[in-house]
Amino acid sequence: MYKYDEYDQRIVDERVSQFRDQTRRYLAGEIAEDDFLPLRLQNGLYIQRFAPMLRIAIPYGLLNTRQVRRLSEISRKYDKGYVHFTTRQNVQLNWPLLEQVPEILADLAEVEMHAVQTSGACIRNTTTDQFAGVARDEIVDPRPWCEIIRQWSTFHPEFAFLPRKFKIAVCGSEEDRAATMVHDIGVHAFRNENGNVRFKILAGGGLGRTPMVASVIRESIEPEHLLTYLDAILRVYNRYGRRDNKYKARIKILVKAMTPEVFTEKVESEWEQIKDSASLLPEAEIERVSQHFIDPEYKGLVDQDFNDLALQAPIGFHSWLKQNVFAHKKPGYCAVTVTLKATGEAPGDVSAEQLDVIADLADQFSLGELRVSHEQNLIFADVEQTALIELWEKLSAVGLATANRGLLTDMICCPGGDFCALANARSIPLAEEIQRKFDDIDFLHDVGELDLNISGCMNACAHHHVGHIGILGVDRKGIEYYQVQVGGSASKGATLGKIIGPSFKREEIPDVLEKILNVYIEQRREDELFIDTCQRIGITPFKERVYAQAA
Amino acid sequence: MPRLLKNNEVFEDDYQILDSESEDLAFTGTLLIPARELDQHEKLLEQKQQPTGLFLDSDDNVESYADILSSFDLITINFPKFIDGRGYSLCRILRDRYHYKGDIRAVGDVLIDQIFMLQRCGFSSYYLREDQKAEDAIKALDTFSLRYQGSSDDPEPLYRKRKVS
């Protein structure tokens, strides 16, 4: 992964000094509350329902074990001994003290970490595929491009005060595992007929109150122009995006209002004027950054027969092997997902003790690195297949071997009303009730791949619009209700789910899900996945079952 | 009296934004003429001896004034609120596209913690909001010693300067 040089380190160190000074002036009453707000947000610091929350950046989801151990230490020293992984591949502390944040940032900077632009109306952490560099369907490794975009977006002076937050995702594989279609900018890396890297640029996707799928802005751009093209899009958005209404301020509204064609024209004419500048990306820089992501020295191994492997293993291993192990581009290797979705634990939460174990296991089994996925899970990307049983046993011992990756109970879930000041309803207790209702792993495996997304409000942090089943918390006269939608998808052919009808009380939701699943089980054809059945039969059969009057 | 940060110094400098209605003939400080009302003030522009500047608001279309920019030694860009980031793009367009060489001044809700980025986008002077500390504003010009991107202050991104070890 990318290793800081003296330049990167100095920028992060100077950032710590800057925020230390800002915090001091704020506490001394020299910066007013309203003036401090965007400053702390651009450093990931929220004032939440009960305490501040600090969101720490994990650029495109990559961590080394030194960083994992540091997160564990920080969570013990300054917080309550656990951390929360987010849907943007970041990590949050839920209980830090504002006064101590500069110290936390200094501790992070020592291990090449920061909280830069993890919130606020600026360019946020760029995200990508959690299997980048190891996936079999990869065309272009997105990581060097994510790092190049990270550096370009860090303290970009022109775009620190955009109309609204701005999220970029990069995908370099056949299957889109980074939900690029619902980002402000989606970058699809591909190879042209000569085998050269090119990028397709999409803009105007997003969720929230007005969910939209991104439009193609440019079919192909050369690497040397990637950053100036992004500059042009951002400049058009910065100048013309709405600032009078925060619910209409995302780029998707601008692209829709202008139409994608006119928006594209504006971007192209802006780009014509800025493209021939010193910002052209030189081959040497692409090479320099790419050097950080070359393949490790893989051993010459052969693929194991997974049936044989399962026969040697204790009960429970087989379903984990089937569900949580992902094919690797190198024979004899695989990628393993540790879902942070055990029943009774808030989705995405990990204790400091578990982090330490995970770090040890990553050192022992996966070349000392770890990835975070936008599904709020952790990934060991380079595990030798012959070590799978041992790894599974060690994970089981600390409650981290739940075999539910991609299944109903591997839900994406925001912190909700238990923590977040914006939420209309709680999401964590609902997640737990669902996990308790559907605790039969065989049933879950029979239902198969299913994205369940639970957002506590329409800001859609858990991307409920693109969940195969999406649940949205709403507030009706002070009572928590939940709206259910089906048929959404975050894949390259992204679709938005449709609401099936009036909302439900929380205790009704597990039964509603059961009815939805029963419709699927009755109607599915052979190996048809839930989402495919949904798209084939539409929402009516689900609606009829769920809202049927008791006979 | 408004305070102006320019050339690493903060000093008092009175200014007035002309509006079409009232005109204070006795005023001798810097006069700012809104670009949208420029045609109403042509005569005044010829007669006035005091410093005058063009006043652009954050939603002004800077492209419309391309022809007259060079007749001003001073252009001010308004920040109605500091979180309105349009002025950053306007300033970059003035510097990079129109090669404007005069003084570009931030006016309005101008705070210490944005000065470094304003400077990077090509601003050369700043009317500080009343409550901002002069010494902290001067210090803010040097917040970072390195920058990743090229911008109007220095078009060369870090990737053209790194010494690769």
For residue A234, the model assigns a pLDDT of: 98
Residue A229 reports pLDDT greater than 90: yes
Q: Which residue has the tokens 């010459």?
A: A300
A197–chain B nearest CA distance, Å = 20
State chain A's maximal CA–CA distance in angstroms: 73
Neighbours of A246 (CB within 10 A): 11
In a domain, B93, yes or no: yes
Q: Are the C-beta atoms of B91 and B114 separated by less than 8 Å?
A: no
**For residues A178-201, average pLDDT:** 97
Q: Do B148 and A152 touch (CB under 8 A)?
A: yes
Q: State which H helix or E strand residue A473 sits in.
A: strand A469-476
Torsion-angle region of A383 (φ positive above 0: left; ψ -120 to 50: alpha; else: beta): beta
* Cα gap A38→B114, rounded to integer Å: 11
* Cα gap A324→A336, rounded to integer Å: 6
Of B14, B18, B19, B10, nearest to B2 (Cα)? B14
For residue B42, the model assigns a pLDDT of: 77
In a domain, B62, yes or no: yes
Domain that holds residue B145: 3-160
A409 DSSP 8-state letter: T
The pair of structure tokens assigned to A523 is 């109607």
Residue B165 reports pLDDT greater than 70: no
* Cα gap A128→A61, rounded to integer Å: 7
Q: Which residue has the tokens 């720490």?
A: A56
Residue of chain B nearest A239, judged by CA positions: B86
In a domain, B165, yes or no: no
Residue A400 reports pLDDT greater than 80: yes
In angstroms, the first-to-last Cα distance of chain A is 60
Q: Do A277 and B159 touch (CB under 8 A)?
A: no
Residue A551 reports pLDDT greater than 70: no
DSSP per-residue letters across B81-105: STT-THHHHHHHIIIIIS---SEEE
| Partners of residue A336 on adjacent β-strands | A325, A380
For residue B48, the model assigns a pLDDT of: 72
Q: Which residues of B touch A251 (CB under 8 A)?
A: none
In angstroms, the first-to-last Cα distance of chain B is 52
B31–chain A nearest CA distance, Å = 26
For residue B24, the model assigns a pLDDT of: 65
Q: Which residues of A touch B83 (CB under 8 A)?
A: 38, 121, 161
pLDDT band (50, 70, 90) for residue A300: very high
- Number of compact structural domains in chain B: 1
In a domain, B42, yes or no: yes
* Residue among A15, A152, A274 minimizing CB distance to B149: A152
CATH number at residue B103: 3.20.20.70
The pair of structure tokens assigned to A527 is 């190996």
Q: State which H helix or E strand residue A514 sits in.
A: helix A509-523
A457–chain B nearest CA distance, Å = 25
Q: Are the C-beta atoms of B145 and B125 separated by less than 8 Å?
A: no
Tens of pLDDT, residue by residue over B92-147, are: 999 999 999 999 999 999 999 999 999 999 999 999 999 999 999 999 999 999 99
Mean pLDDT, chain A, rounded, equals 95
Q: State which H helix or E strand residue A197 sits in.
A: strand A197-203
For residue A20, the model assigns a pLDDT of: 97
Tens of pLDDT, residue by residue over B17-28, are: 987 665 666 788
Q: What CA–CA distances, in Å, run from A400 to A70, A262, A354, A370, A403?
A: 20, 50, 8, 15, 9
Q: List, in order of start, the domains of chain A with CATH numbers.
A: 6-109 (3.90.480.20), 134-290 (3.30.413.10), 306-397 (3.90.480.20), 412-546 (3.30.413.10)
Residue A502 reports pLDDT greater than 90: yes
Q: What CA–CA distances, in Å, run from A416 to A9, A47, A419?
A: 35, 15, 6
Q: Residue A373 corresponds to which amino acid?
A: S
Tens of pLDDT, residue by residue over A380-398, are: 999 999 999 999 999 999 9
Note the ipTM here. Answer: 0.96
Q: Is B40 on the interface with A (CB under 8 A)?
A: no
In a domain, B108, yes or no: yes
* Cα gap A84→B66, rounded to integer Å: 51
Tens of pLDDT, residue by residue over A125-148, are: 999 999 999 999 999 999 999 999
In a domain, B22, yes or no: yes
Residue A470 reports pLDDT greater than 80: yes
* Cα gap A233→A18, rounded to integer Å: 29
Q: Do B133 and A30 touch (CB under 8 A)?
A: yes
Q: Is the dihedral of CA A486, A490, A492, A498 positive or negative?
A: positive
- DSSP 3-state assignment of A338? strand
Q: Which residues of A touch B110 (CB under 8 A)?
A: none
Could you tell me whether strands B125-128 and B103-108 are parallel, antiparallel, or unpaired per DSSP bridges?
A: parallel
| Partners of residue A326 on adjacent β-strands | A335
Q: What CA–CA distances, in Å, run from A485 to A101, A407, A470, B38, B92?
A: 39, 17, 5, 55, 45
In a domain, B129, yes or no: yes
Window from A421-430, B71-80, B123-132 with minimum mean pLDDT: A421-430
For residue B40, the model assigns a pLDDT of: 82
- Count the residues in chain B: 165
CA angle centred on B10, ends B9 and B11, rounded to 5°: 120
Q: DSSP H helical segments within A82-180, as ranges?
A: 101-109, 143-153
Neighbours of A184 (CB within 10 A): 26
In a domain, B72, yes or no: yes
**For residues A283-311, average pLDDT:** 96
| Sheet (strand A52-56) strand order | A45-47, A52-56, A91-93, A82-85, A349-351
Mutation test of the interface with chain A: which of B96, B113, B121, choosing the one with the most A Cβ atoms within 10 A?
A: B113
Residue of chain A nearest B154, judged by CA positions: A278
DSSP per-residue letters across chain B: --EEEETTEEEE--EEE--SS---TT--SEEEEEGGGGGGGHHHHHH--S-EEEEE-TT--GGGGGGGGGG-SEEEEEESSTT-THHHHHHHIIIIIS---SEEEEEES--GGGHHHHHHTT--EEEE-TTS-HHHHHHHTTS-S--SS--SS----GGGT----
